[in-house]
Amino acid sequence: MTATAVAPSTAPSAGVVLEVTDLTKIFGQLAAVDHLTFTVQPARVTGFLGPNGAGKTTTMRMLLGLVAPTSGTALIGGQRYRDLPNPMRVVGSALEATNFHPGRSGRDHLRVLADASGIPTRRVDEMLDLVGIPAAARQRAGGYSMGMRQRLGLAAALLGDPAVLMLDEPANGLDPEGIRWLRSFLRYLAHQGKTILVSSHMLAEADQIVDDVVIIANGRSVAQGSMAELRGEPTVFARSSDNAALASALTARGVLSTPSDGGLIAKTADPARVGDIALAAGLPIHELHPLASDLEDLFFRLTDTVANRNRGGDSGPGGPPPWQPPTSSASAQPPLPVVSSEAGDPR
């Protein structure tokens, strides 16, 4: 469903920082969040990433005052959520796509929230238009698809035009058009100066949205920073008929390189520079392209250690290891069922 182009109003309190400091939450014997520290800056989209059970939702619930921390602090603009004078005008959140009465229409759901916070009713219809579900506004929310529920949750989060937006898996249930719309919309909100924290396990999609990343595993911080910082130094892959001669030519021009996969990895962000050096040295180039780690590569490189593997018992950070083919041809085929000559059915 296509969203109507209705621009949200300017947030009255843009520039709010989220601060999580030494945050810990223990349930029985389980440390769901373990001395976690990070900040989320305004005018940026921060991806909050980790395998299932890493503690992402628990952390967001502590920021919103829904779960009391065992120790540490979770502050929004220097205050606890419960101390904010008008929370909906400071922070909007969508942690679940089912936090509404199924017998109430989407519009009535938003009207109840607006009335409780002194928000004008006209804002309800503006948000329904903005998230692209005006035609379904008078239908019972219990009949909404998952994607429509996600859009209703986003409309609720934006009702007070908050400076902070916290979304838990917002792309779940959205079709490709909806995901593209969400991506551009979050970028627009960040451009307005809003502080945006988005948890997600859809790494390829998050890679196209986020500016900064906080990666956690088993409740602990694994890495955090801007995408550029975490990806590290840009490099270029080059392959020639004489890689040794190409390495010498690059070194002579101040470009360091290392052998890799039948070619060289040159420590530069400029493939054209490598090509020019090869041309000047009279060396043919058979392959030349920049190397960049995508978010999925970065995620598994940082979390695929014994200490960070999923405590739920899976053998990897987010599940079992990649599938491997059988080691013998005998095991490649499942055994044939025994067929009764009388009934003709498998036993």
Highest mean pLDDT among 104-108, 310-314, 335-339: 104-108
Give the per-residue pLDDT at 181.
86
* pLDDT confidence tier of residue 66, bands split at 50, 70 and 90: very high
Give the per-residue pLDDT at 179.
87
Q: Is the pTM of this model over 0.85?
A: no
The mean per-residue pLDDT over the stretch 59-74 comes to 97
* pLDDT confidence tier of residue 326, bands split at 50, 70 and 90: low
Amino acid at 4: T
Give the per-residue pLDDT at 301.
74
